[in-house]
Amino acid sequence: MIRPFFILCAIFHNNGVSLSSKIRKFPDSFEFGASTSAYQIEGGWYEDGKGLSIWDIATHMDPSQIKDKSTGDIAADSYHLYKRDVEIAKELGLDFYRFSVSWPRILPKGLPNQINQAGIDYYNNLINELLKNNIKPFLTIYHWDLPYELQKLGGWINPHVVDWFVDYVKILYDYYGDRVKLWITINEPKQICYEGYGSTLKAPMLNASGVAEYMCAKNLLLAHAKAYHLYNQNYRKLQNGTVGISISCTWFEPASETIDDHQAAVDANQFDWGQYAHPIFSKAGHFPFELKKNIALKSAEQGFSRSRLPELSASEVALIRGSADFFGVNTYTTKLAYRDASLDGLYAVPSYMDDMAAVVVGNPTWPQAKSTWLQEVPWGFYKLLKEIKKNYNNPVVYITENGWSTAGGLFDDDRIQYYRNYLSVLHDAIEEGCDVRKYTAWSLIDNFEWKNGYTEKFGLYEVDFSREDRNRTPRKSAYVYKEIIRTKSLDTTYEPEINTV
């Protein structure tokens, strides 16, 4: 029986965080940006020597997997319109623009024996255009578009992916490191490992839950760590940049005050983001205790000869621990977690969800975005930031994604409210000592939202996907964000005049 969670959680409304209306100034050194990713905006899917990625394959092999049967073949056409994107970044007054590089555009077959010069040129042009306009390039090395040739070999569950990734990273440091000083190795490990290999939510849709996502997690952490150490050893002295990882973090709140529900929320937080954050940012390193305990126990009960969670050797733990200059936080929403013995049998065995053994739900009273998974819960963001500060000795945090989806349209007051409320509690957290130094809106422009195609819009600028020229138009939220950046402060009474950016 599913419990009526809306009764359980009514008590959490606002949760002690006051959304005050006074003008709130961010520190002078605080920086604002906006984000996109290659597959979601570039198009040019088979142009100028680019190889195929797992998303090209997923969208072409079985279009019915995508809500509107669309692909990223053209997307927002940023492969051709990147100058307009930079102009938009300039219009907004961004300090930095976070974009990702398509691995198969650089290495069509995934491996470094064949480098695609047109791909190298594309990102050189984008980086130079940004710098010409005084906007810092913030480069994500991997945002989900694995070369298909590497997926044929197992992709992220083949331990050799560590070497493949480091070979690719080295090329980017070599070609772009003279001008790029902000690096993210990997975007959202959970979406890569659990959603891609443990379910069918993301490419390559392997659906081998309970086993594949943990193999992926180990390989991914090692790939990240080796890319970080490569920078330290061969590039840092000369290039003086900063290298981190972006982890998607949902905040899980206990649905009631019972010990069981409290533990369900702890487990959910550790499975969702502690799985990747703890090995890198905690003092002890290794996977979190809750993960090791739950998976070992269940594996033994289920007749496995060892835990389905792979071991990390002492030297691997040491390699991964401390391997980031900053914690990139991608965060959107909060969920309630509870535990209920009558739910035995709800999840497949073995599986990630069964290992976590928590039921997670939203709350119908929270403001709802177009995306079913996304509700506005500012206090959850605040609690997340405080927890990161507490668990990992107050690391440098960059918010590398945060945003809101609508069905479209230029007058997006719900997005404006979301940004204001999230930035307001971010300001609270900074005042209380959380070392957050950058904020990145997702997204600069509308784009291909993975399995939801073009049905969910996250852009500060609207893209008209029905027009060949993919015309971009600022939404009301773009004017509000521009004013926040211009003044480095939040003034909730500000109303833009919508005809001048």
Ligand X SMILES: *[C@@H]1O[C@H](CO)[C@@H](O)[C@H](O)[C@H]1NC(C)=O
Q: Enumerate the active-site residues.
A: 188, 401
> Counting contacts by CB under 6 A, is residue 315 touching ligand X?
no
Q: Which is nearer to ligand X, 118 or 348 (CB)?
A: 348
Distances (CA, A) of 59 to 52, 67, 98, 149, 450: 11, 11, 25, 16, 9
Residue ranges in 441-500 that form contacts with ligand X under rule CB under 6 A = none
CB of 196 to ligand X, least distance (A): 13
Interaction of residue 10 with ligand X, rule CB under 6 A:
no
Q: Is residue 200 within the footprint of ligand X (CB under 6 A)?
A: yes
Q: Which is nearer to ligand X, 176 or 381 (CB)?
A: 176
Question: What residues are paired with 326 via a beta bridge?
Answer: 244
Indicate whether 29 belongs to the interface with ligand X (CB under 6 A): no
Percent helix, strand, coil in the chain, to 5, is: 45, 15, 40
Of residues 17 and 131, the one with the C-beta less far from ligand X: 131
Query: CB of residue 200 vs ligand X: minimum separation in angstroms?
Result: 5
**Residue 348 interacting with ligand X (CB under 6 A):** yes
Closer residue to ligand X (CB): 133 or 207 = 207
Gap between the Cα atoms of 202 and 40, Å rounded: 13
Beta strands at 96-100 and 472-474: parallel, antiparallel or unpaired: unpaired
The one among 240, 305, 313, 499 contacting ligand X by CB under 6 A: 240
Q: Read off the tokens for 65.
A: 């997997």
Q: Which amino acid makes up residue 112?
A: P
Closest contact distance (angstroms) between CB of 397 and ligand X is 16
Ramachandran class of 139: left when φ > 0, alpha when ψ lies in -120 to 50, beta otherwise: beta
Q: Please, which residue, 200 or 489, has the CB nearer to ligand X?
A: 200
Tell me how many residues contact ligand X (CB under 6 A): 4
Which residue in the set 207, 368, 455, 471 belongs to the binding site for ligand X (CB under 6 A)?
207
**C-alpha distance across the termini of the chain, in Å:** 53
Contact 187, 132 (CB under 8 A): no
Output 2 or 348, the one with its CB closest to ligand X.
348
Residue 30 CB, nearest approach to ligand X (Å): 15
* Residue spans of alpha helices (H) in 210-365: 212-234, 236-239, 259-269, 275-281, 289-301, 314-320, 352-356
Residue 440 contacts residue 72 (beta carbons within 8 Å): no
Nearer to ligand X (CB atom), residue 110 or residue 198: 198
Helices then strands, each counted (H, E), the chain: 20, 15
What's the closest the beta carbon of residue 199 comes to ligand X, in angstroms?
Answer: 7
Show the tokens assigned to 201: 């939510």
Least Å distance, CB 237 to ligand X, is 8
CA dihedral 300, 305, 307, 312 (to 10 degrees): 150
Q: 32 in helix, strand or coil?
A: strand
- Could you tell me the smallest distance in angstroms from the CB atom of residue 348 to ligand X? 4
Task: Identify the burial level of 473 via C-beta atoms within 10 angstroms of its C-beta, where 0-12 means exposed, 13-18 middle and 19 or more buried.
Answer: middle
3-state class (DSSP) for residue 141: strand
> What residues between 401 and 430 interact with ligand X by CB under 6 A?
none
- In this structure, what token pair is assigned to residue 141? 């090395």
Binding site for ligand X (CB under 6 A): 200, 207, 240, 348
